[in-house]
């Protein structure tokens, strides 16, 4: 920060006097946040983010030749559909800096609410705990079963039932992962608890384990390549809704609006979507 430590201490004490509470526990040189500090921290982050947004908005008034957009997305979207969208955006707006954060939907919501992200592509997440957020539905994504090509197919039929997953070893994502929740909820709705061959992986690890023949996995149709055997579910099957989250109380910069337009334009063209993906974007007439 290029500020001397005594100056920082004075500023912290002045802030504590202003808010009327101690923000740090000071014990033998170790610092930790008090309850008041924990309460102030996300608000302070939003203030700093809004300040940066104000400067950036003014700088962008002349033309859309510069700017920055901070986008969050779940790992499966970063692996599947998003690279094509971002490539199109980069071609159209080469001077705009893109910052991509890959994480789970809940963490991404918090980042948008705190102002550290401008937009986030999230999956079937509840927004009632984040009253400042809005979430525009983008598309419905089919979930399919993948298995190694060198292993027998999970079923002899062309499609399988969710019930067919019972007692089959699943390669499972880590806790808190959207796809884990979707799979476990689907199995429980069918009346059984899923069995795990291995659990705790991210997307790349899950795909590698399936390719090695350790078990089958439930993944979005948009991440499936020719590398795996794909088996679709009988209707109604499993699916998830992908949404675009943003702050309702913050006016987006021109760069942010441009990325939103590129995302919705891409998803509004059904021809660009992979099989098993249904667009929810309403194109203007």
Q: For 275, list phi and psi in degrees, rounded to 5.
A: -60, 140
Q: Is a pLDDT exceeding 50 seen at residue 169?
A: yes
150-159 per-position pLDDT tens digit = 998 899 899 9
pTM score? 0.71
So what's the pLDDT on residue 285? Answer: 43
- Of 21-30, 99-108, 133-142, give the lowest mean pLDDT range: 21-30
CB burial string 190-226: b at 16+ within 10 A, e below: eeeebeebeeebebeebbebbbeebbbbbbbbbbbee
So what's the pLDDT on residue 277? Answer: 78
Cβ contacts of 84 within 8 Å, gap of 6 or more: 266, 272
Half-sphere exposure of 51 (CA within 13 A, CB side): 6
Q: Is a pLDDT exceeding 60 seen at residue 63?
A: no
For residue 61, what pLDDT band results from cuts at 50, 70 and 90? low
Maximum CA extent, the chain: 73
Q: What average pLDDT does the chain have?
A: 87
Look at the block and give the residue holding tokens 């509840």. 126
For residue 244, what pLDDT band results from cuts at 50, 70 and 90? very high
Q: Could you tell me whether strands 133-148 and 159-160 are parallel, antiparallel, or unpaired per DSSP bridges?
A: unpaired
User: What percentage of residues in the chain have a pLDDT greater than 70?
Assistant: 91
Can you tell me the distance from the alpha carbon of 72 to that of 141, in angstroms, rounded to the nearest whole number?
Answer: 18
Query: All domains of the chain, ordered by start, with CATH?
Result: 5-37 (1.10.10.10), 39-140+242-279 (3.40.190.10), 141-240 (3.40.190.10)
78-126 per-position pLDDT tens digit = 988 899 999 999 999 998 889 999 988 888 998 998 889 999 999 875 5
Q: For 171, list phi and psi in degrees, rounded to 5.
A: -85, 115
């Amino acid at each position: 920060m290029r500020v001397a430590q005594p100056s920082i201490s004075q500023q912290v004490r002045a802030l504590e006097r202003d808010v009327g509470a101690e923000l740090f526990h000071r014990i033998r040189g170790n610092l930790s946040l008090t309850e008041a500090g924990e309460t102030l921290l996300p608000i302070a982050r939003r203030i700093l983010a809004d300040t940066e947004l104000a400067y950036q908005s003014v700088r962008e008034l002349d033309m859309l030749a510069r700017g920055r957009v901070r986008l969050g997305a779940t790992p499966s979207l970063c692996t599947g559909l998003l690279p094509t969208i971002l490539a199109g955006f980069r071609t159209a707006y080469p001077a705009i800096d893109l910052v991509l954060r890959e994480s789970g939907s809940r963490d991404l919501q918090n980042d948008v609410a705190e102002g550290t992200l401008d937009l986030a592509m999230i999956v079937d997440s509840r927004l009632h705990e984040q009253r400042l957020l809005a979430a525009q539905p983008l598309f419905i994504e089919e979930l399919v079963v993948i298995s190694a090509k060198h292993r027998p197919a999970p079923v002899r039929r062309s499609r399988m039932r969710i019930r067919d997953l019972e007692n089959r070893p699943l390669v499972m994502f880590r806790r808190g992962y959207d796809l884990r929740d979707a799979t476990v909820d689907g199995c429980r709705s069918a009346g059984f608890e899923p069995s795990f061959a291995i659990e705790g992986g991210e997307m790349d690890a899950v795909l590698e384990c399936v390719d090695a023949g350790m078990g089958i996995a439930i993944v979005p149709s948009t991440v499936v390549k020719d590398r795996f055997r794909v088996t679709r579910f009988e209707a109604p099957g499993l699916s998830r809704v992908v949404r675009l989250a943003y702050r309702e109380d913050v006016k987006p910069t021109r760069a942010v609006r441009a990325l939103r337009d590129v995302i919705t334009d891409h998803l509004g063209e059904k021809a660009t979507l992979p099989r098993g993906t249904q667009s929810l974007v309403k194109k203007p007439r």
